Structure formats: structure tokens, C-alpha cells
Amino acid sequence: MNRTLLIVILRIFLGVVFILAGASKIGNPAAFAEDIDNYRMLPYALVTFLAIVLPWIEICAGILLVFGKFLHGAAFTVLVLNMVFIIAISSALARGLSIDCGCFSPGTGAAKVGVLRLIEDFIFLAIAVYIFRTAHHKAKPSKADF
Amino acid sequence: MYISKTLLQSMLILIISAFLGFANNYFSSQPVKISTERPGTPEAPDSTFHNSHSLNISEPVIINKNQLKNLIATEDVILVDARSPEEYAAGYISGAINIPFDHLGDYMHEIDALPKDQWLVTYCEGPRCDKAERLAWTLYEIGFERIAYYNAGLEDWQTTKDIEQ
């Protein structure tokens, strides 16, 4: 397959996944805060901040990936988010927590933390790394790049 | 240069997201209250545990230390430690049996043998552990009629020095 086409497909796929993930959370910040808090990893002040901001980071980064704008920042953001998700889910699994992962539609019990969620996030991480590296290599040194 | 560009774009995404997020939360029907304190879970009133034989079957309630002490003193209470066998072996509330929430399937015989019409109180480490609450709800769904969970848990009870090891 044409490499450029592959990258376009991958970034649209990843972008749509993140837009949907973010959109499913913005309707109920309180339920999402509860899902984050169930991980028992963060002080409550940070839980509330994340519950408010994280869905919109997912949406913004997702839209930028779909439209291929600000690819460095968008891919890097998604990359960091997935690393954070992987750490959180691994930690929850290691502690034997049986909680909603909060990945999609918080408060509905749509998905529990589990190995499947972890594999999913590793795949998204790999795609984000690939997009980030490609954007990095494609960019020619130019002072007017941003 | 690429690093600074990446960080600059990421910061911009973060700032715009923060703006949109706080605006959305402000107008949301189910907003998060920005606070450093976790919203407190209401405890059941003392009257819940008095004359409880006349009480209708109700959903699991939260019990505090004094209520639990009074209940143990006045009624036959099944006290259930929801933590792992290893944690249980290291110390548990006097009289408690162990039903680890994470291995519930292995303990179905023990659960079936318990009387369903007595007060059953679950606990785990403390308010930051959710096994007691989840076990309470699971047992409620199985058919136990009077369930409370001691949310403050072992951490709170330890102040009474009534721990068996």
C-alpha cells in the first residue's frame, strides 16, 4: 500500500477513535471524575481537573489528526495520553481492581479494565508513534514551520 | 527545534482543551465540583440499625464504627473481610470471616452457608478500597437482606485495637 495513504488512514482512524472517546465523556463530567477516581491513583483535585479537561484534549487531538493539522503536537498528545492510560490500566490490573476503565461512556459500565483494554491502548500507542515519527521525518527544517 | 514545535503545539492543544472543558463543565447538567476533598459518602442514620428485624429488605448502607460496635453488641452480625486471604491472615477485625471479593467464585459454598436474614457487614482496608462496597452489592444481588459496608474499614477500626492476628 502507498505509504502516504496508509498514514492518512491510520491518522483518520486514530483521530476518529479519540473524537468518539472524548465525545462520550463530555456529557457527564461527574461520572467521568468517578471513573478516574476509582483508579485510586491521583489526588482528588487532579481527578476533577482531568475529568474536565481530558475529554477535550482527546477531541482536539482527534480533530487535528483527522485533518492532518498540527500533526507533531496532536500525535505527541495522543502518544502521551496512551502511555498514561497504559500505566493506569496496568496499575489497576496489578492491584486487582475491578473497575470501569472510563475509556468510553463513563458511568455506564461500558468497559471494565482488562488485558483487552491494555492491548487496545498499545495498538493506539504504536499508531501514534508511527504518525509522530512520520511527521517528524517529513518536516524539513524551516523557520516558518509553525 | 522539532521538540519545541511539538511541545508548543501540545501546549496549545492543552490550553484550548482546558478552556473548552471548563466552559463545558460550567454549563453541564452534571458538572464536577472542583475540590481537593472527595465528596463524602453519607452514612446511614443510627435508626437503620435499631429494630432492624422489622426493617424491610433494603439496599446496602454505610455503617460507621460506633454503629457497628452497637450492632455487634446487640445482634448476631456476620462480619466479612473482603480483602485477599494474605491480607486477612495479617490481621482482621475480631470475628470476621474472609470472603475475598477478587476470588468470589471460589467462595460460593461459604456464601451459600450464611444465613441471609442476619445483618452482614463487609469491610476492607479503608475508604480508598472499594472491595467492601462491591462485595456488599454483590451479596445484596444474591439475596442477602440486611447488608452494610464499613466504609472507613480496617484503618478506622485499628484505632480500637480490636484486631486478631
Better pLDDT: B145 or B54:
B145
**3-class secondary-structure state, position B40:** coil
State whether A73 and B37 contact (CB < 8 Å).
Answer: no
Domain contains B116: yes
Residue A109: the pLDDT is 60
Same domain, B29 and B50: no
**d(Cα B49, Cα B53) in Å, to the nearest integer?**
9
Same domain, B56 and B121: yes
Domain contains A142: no
State whether A72 and B130 contact (CB < 8 Å).
Answer: no
Better pLDDT: B74 or B53:
B74
User: Which residues of A fall within a CB distance of 8 Å from B137?
Assistant: none
Q: How many CB pairs under 8 A join A and B?
A: 111
**Does B23 contact chain A (CB < 8 Å)?**
no
Domain contains B41: no
Query: How many domains is chain B built from?
Result: 2
Segments forming the whole domain that contains residue A22: 3-137
pLDDT tens per residue across span B68-95? 988 888 888 999 999 999 999 999 998 9
Domain contains B23: yes
Same domain, B150 and B96: yes
Enumerate chain A positions whose Cβ falls within 8 A of a Cβ in B.
26-33, 37-38, 40, 43-45, 48-49, 51-57, 59-61, 64, 70, 72-74, 76-77, 80, 96-99, 132, 136, 139, 141, 145-146
Report the residue of B17, B27, B86 to disrupt the A interface, i.e. the one with the largest count of A CBs within 10 Å: B17
Domain contains A146: no
Give the closest-approach CA distance of A126 to chain B in angstroms: 18
β-bridge mates for residue B97, sequence order: B80
Domain contains A143: no
Q: Give the nearest partner residue to B6 out of A40, A48, A72, using CB atoms.
A: A72
Q: Does residue A68 contact residue A83 with C-beta atoms inside 8 Å? A: no
Domain contains B39: no
pLDDT at A57 over 60: yes
Same domain, B91 and B127: yes
Mean confidence (pLDDT) of chain B: 84
Same domain, B78 and B30: no
Is B157 exposed, middle or buried, given 0-12, 13-18 or 19+ CB atoms closer than 10 A? buried
pLDDT tens per residue across span A18-47? 999 999 999 888 889 988 988 878 888 899
Give the closest-approach CA distance of A3 to chain B in angstroms: 22
User: What is the domain-level CATH number for residue B143?
Assistant: 3.40.250.10
Domain contains A73: yes
pLDDT tens per residue across span B92-126? 998 999 999 988 888 988 999 999 888 999 999 88
Could you report the predicted ipTM of this complex, rounded to two decimals? 0.86
State whether B31 and A30 contact (CB < 8 Å).
Answer: yes
* Total Cβ atoms within 10 A of residue B86: 8
Segments forming the whole domain that contains residue B2: 1-34
Domain contains A145: no
